[in-house]
């Protein structure tokens, strides 16, 4: 016979599974573009900020106690104090130079190489070719100055930069040259796609959040539906994609006309953003 404890653990397991599924796919897109350390910092700041905002809504006009935030977040009160101070004194995360500094170890190496006069030649306007090892302004010294992380060697950094074709090594002189000076780790196309993609994910999350809050009021819920089937032949997926994409393009055209017809003609302060999103998805048996 199942006990209340067993039921609670089962519920927690379901929540853990769905959160893991979402996070795993988000993290796949972030690997190589954002360090785990920065992701952890961002989540911690946002978690505390959102927990406090939610508690303020529950008790309008009252100060939120540190202990209440600790109960909601599982974070100790000393850390919460530090995060609160950061939120009060800092710019939004995406505008905070302190947070953005060292966003990704390889970004930091690139930034130092392009901006520090020790590694950048102001006269030519080019990053210097660096000896890999030795005295003075070497690649090893650059990595050491850029990355304070135990176990991350200059050789490992050089290997990765070679793999992504950012540097060129001259084996005869044992020097390394930065051969790509812009869009090094995220191309403009990738950045645009990430912006559009994460905006779509954010919009879907807003709809889900609204519907959870209004779960007992069907009239207040936003429209949220999905259609899928588990029985597609891998050999026929090209045909499936073409047929569905053709259907969605027609539907998208009608949706754009509808949204435009309902919107105000003039842009004014305080107006809402509303939209209809559509996307096609596939998932292999391996996830």
Distance (Å) of CA 75 to CA 12, 58, 81, 238: 19, 20, 10, 48
Q: In this structure, are strands 175-178 and 130-131 parallel, antiparallel, or unpaired?
A: antiparallel
The C-alpha atoms of residue 66 and residue 79 are separated, in whole angstroms, by: 10
Residue 234 pLDDT > 60: yes
Please tell me the predicted confidence (pLDDT) of residue 112.
87
Encoding tokens for residue 246? 């053709």
* Residue 49 exposed, middle or buried by CB count within 10 Å (0-12, 13-18, 19+): middle
Mean pLDDT, the chain, integer: 89
The C-alpha atoms of residue 249 and residue 255 are separated, in whole angstroms, by: 10
Is-contact 139 145, C-beta < 8 A? no
Sorting pLDDT into bands at 50, 70 and 90, what band is 67?
very high
Residue 183 pLDDT > 80: no
Is-contact 111 190, C-beta < 8 A? no
Residue 223 pLDDT > 90: yes
- Residue 80 main-chain phi, psi, to 5 deg: -60, -40
Percentage of the chain with pLDDT > 90? 59
Residue holding tokens 């710019």? 91
Distance (Å) of CA 115 to CA 57, 109, 129, 142: 46, 10, 14, 12
Residue 17 pLDDT > 70: yes
Which pTM value belongs to this model?
Answer: 0.74
The 3-state DSSP class for residue 178 equals strand
Sorting pLDDT into bands at 50, 70 and 90, what band is 195?
confident
Encoding tokens for residue 139? 């690649």
Encoding tokens for residue 207? 């709809």
Please tell me the predicted confidence (pLDDT) of residue 188.
67
The region that residue 186 occupies, defined by phi over 0 for left and psi between -120 and 50 for alpha, beta otherwise, is: beta
Query: What are the beta bridge partners of residue 85?
Result: none
- Residue 153 main-chain phi, psi, to 5 deg: -95, 160
- E strand map for 140-272: 167-170, 175-178
The 3-state DSSP class for residue 107 equals helix
Q: pLDDT digits over 103-154, tens only?
A: 788 888 888 888 888 999 888 888 999 999 988 899 999 999 888 777 788 8
Sorting pLDDT into bands at 50, 70 and 90, what band is 102?
low
Sorting pLDDT into bands at 50, 70 and 90, what band is 208?
very high
- Report, as an integer, the average pLDDT of 52-72: 93
How many Cα atoms occupy the beta-carbon half-sphere of 165 within 13 Å? Answer: 2
Sorting pLDDT into bands at 50, 70 and 90, what band is 99?
confident
The C-alpha atoms of residue 287 and residue 285 are separated, in whole angstroms, by: 6
- Terminal C-alpha separation, the chain: 34
């Amino acid at each position: 016979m199942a006990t209340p404890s067993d039921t609670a653990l089962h519920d927690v397991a379901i929540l853990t599974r769905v959160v893991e599924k979402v996070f795993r796919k988000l993290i796949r897109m972030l690997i190589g573009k954002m360090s785990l350390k920065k992701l952890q910092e961002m989540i911690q700041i946002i978690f505390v900020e959102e927990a406090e905002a939610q508690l303020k809504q529950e008790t309008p006009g009252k100060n939120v106690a540190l202990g209440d935030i600790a109960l909601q977040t599982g974070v100790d009160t000393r850390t919460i104090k530090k995060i609160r101070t950061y939120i009060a004194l800092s710019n939004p995360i995406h505008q905070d130079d302190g947070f953005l500094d060292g966003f990704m170890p390889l970004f930091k190496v690139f930034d130092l190489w392009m901006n520090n006069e020790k590694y950048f030649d102001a006269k030519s306007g080019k990053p210097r070719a660096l000896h890999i090892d030795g005295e003075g302004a070497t690649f090893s010294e650059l990595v050491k100055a850029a990355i304070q992380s135990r176990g991350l060697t200059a050789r490992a950094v050089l290997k990765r930069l070679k793999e992504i074709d950012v540097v060129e090594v001259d084996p005869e002189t044992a020097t390394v040259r930065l051969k790509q000076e812009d869009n090094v780790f995220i191309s403009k196309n990738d950045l645009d796609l990430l912006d559009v993609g994460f905006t779509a994910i954010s919009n879907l999350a807003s709809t889900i959040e609204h519907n959870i809050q209004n779960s007992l009021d069907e009239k207040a819920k936003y429209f949220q539906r999905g259609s899928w089937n588990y029985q597609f032949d891998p050999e026929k997926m090209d045909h499936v994609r073409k047929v569905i994409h053709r259907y969605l393009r027609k539907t998208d055209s009608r949706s754009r006309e509808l949204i435009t017809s309902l919107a105000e003609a003039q842009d004014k302060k305080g107006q809402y953003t509303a939209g209809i999103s559509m996307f096609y998805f596939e998932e292999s048996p391996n996830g």
